[in-house]
Structure 1
Amino acid sequence: MPLATPLSPVTLSGHLVRLEPLAHAHLPGLQEAAADGRMWERWYTSVARPEDMAADIERRLAMQERGEMLAFTAVRREDDAVLGGTTFYDIDADVPRVSIGYTWNRESAHGTGTNPESKLLLMTHAFETFGVQCVRYETSWMNAQSRAAIERLGARRDGVLRADRRERTGSLRDTVVYSVLASEWPSVKDGLLHRLRNRVPAAPPE
């Protein structure tokens, strides 16, 4: 069944992180998050400089209006600190299929479990609410850290697109494509839940 587009903004909440629809009100938090580790200097990210963040929000919201993207701001539930952003993009309504990407998080949040939980929230929504047949991930061949992270999610490598696009530096990029299919989702979900089990806060005593 075709996917209805544009995708409707929604808030997705986990134990560690809350994914809120991107809004202009997130500007100060996103600027602060980008400054944590000077994320715009990482060659493998597309993070805007703090002074360019307002224009970046406008650009993503315009793409969202055209049905090309659904953008989220990641917020840590513990203290409501903005961590970064992520999106659904490359939306194919007929398959249906979505890609998850343009993801970044402030440096101090790396390794805290917020990123895998964000992916769990996004894939759960994609498969169980949108009813997609495929969720796709892409990264640069040279970004070994990103490739390893995607593989830890349980995604399978589909192939490598040689000289697929240019990086911000102007160099040609080989793009590695991964995917999770609807038939694989139950086992991938179980794996992510198992991976996050020790990150979930203990329930208060009754």
Structure 2
Amino acid sequence: MNTDISLENGLVQLLPLSKNHVDILWPIAQEMDLLQYGPNDISTFEKLEAYIDTALNEAREGRSIPFIIYNKVTKECVGSTRFGHIDPKNKVLHIGWTWISQASRGTGFNHQMKFLMLHHAFENMEFEKVEFRIDERNLRSRKAVEKLGATLEGILRKNVIVKNNFRRSSCCYGILREEWNQIKETKFKAYI
């Protein structure tokens, strides 16, 4: 499995994450409160370095493909995302660990980025399923994933510890390979 991939369209460019990206990600990381809904903490420069190290270790092990996200129009880095929990035997992976600058939210940028990732997962990697796991309380992210055409498959109750040792429940969404063409035609028609 190739973990050194780049994905792009007219607006979005996803490039392989490297240790050298810590400096350009740090200003965006300071806008985030990832611990509000997730288990990752990037609240200090050192914690961001550890977050990147973890992503790169998982990539070396074939368990993830982490990216840095660029806005090609503004020519600036706007965040990070990844394919994770990659299961080549069962052809299932997760899209997540996504954080983008506040200025990029609500602009359609995330939608285009997810299209690139879904397209690659189904049409290049030939995976059978893409999953998303989102804190039950994170309505913004849940709505964004629902706009992609993902189906809520269930809720894992109190399965992840987040900020202040709160045990969140995770909404499990999925898109199946056989659903992809219809979703692509209806949800991403402008990009194909």
- The residue that corresponds to 2:42 in the other structure is 48
Larger radius of gyration: 1
- 1:139 correspondence with 2:134: yes
- 1:98 correspondence with 2:82: no
Shift of 1:56: 1.9
1:187 and 1:100 mapped to 2: Cα distance? 19
Q: Identity, % of aligned pairs?
A: 28
Question: What is the TM-score when the length of structure 2 is the normalising length?
Answer: 0.91
Query: CA RMSD for the aligned pairs?
Result: 1.8
2:171 to 170, 176, 181: 176
2:109 and 2:93 mapped to 1: Cα distance? 21
Question: What pairs up with 1:1-206 in 2 under 5 angstroms?
Answer: 6-35=1-30, 38-40=31-33, 43-45=36-38, 46=40, 48-52=42-46, 53-194=48-189
- DSSP-derived class of the 1:94 partner: coil
5+ residue gaps in structure 1? 1-5, 198-206
Paired AA for residue 185 in structure 2: D
2:72 and 2:44 mapped to 1: Cα distance? 23
Shift of 1:196: 6.1
Q: Which runs of 4+ in 1 moved over 6 A?
A: none
Q: Which moved more, 1:138-147 or 1:46-55?
A: 46-55
Shift of 1:171: 0.9
Question: What is the TM-score when the length of structure 1 is the normalising length?
Answer: 0.86
Shift of 1:79: 2.6
Shift of 1:55: 2.5
Kindly provide the CA deviation profile for residues 88-135 of structure 1, in whole angstroms up to 9, marking residues without a partner as x.
Answer: 111111121111001110111111211111100000000001100100
1:23 and 1:191 mapped to 2: Cα distance? 35
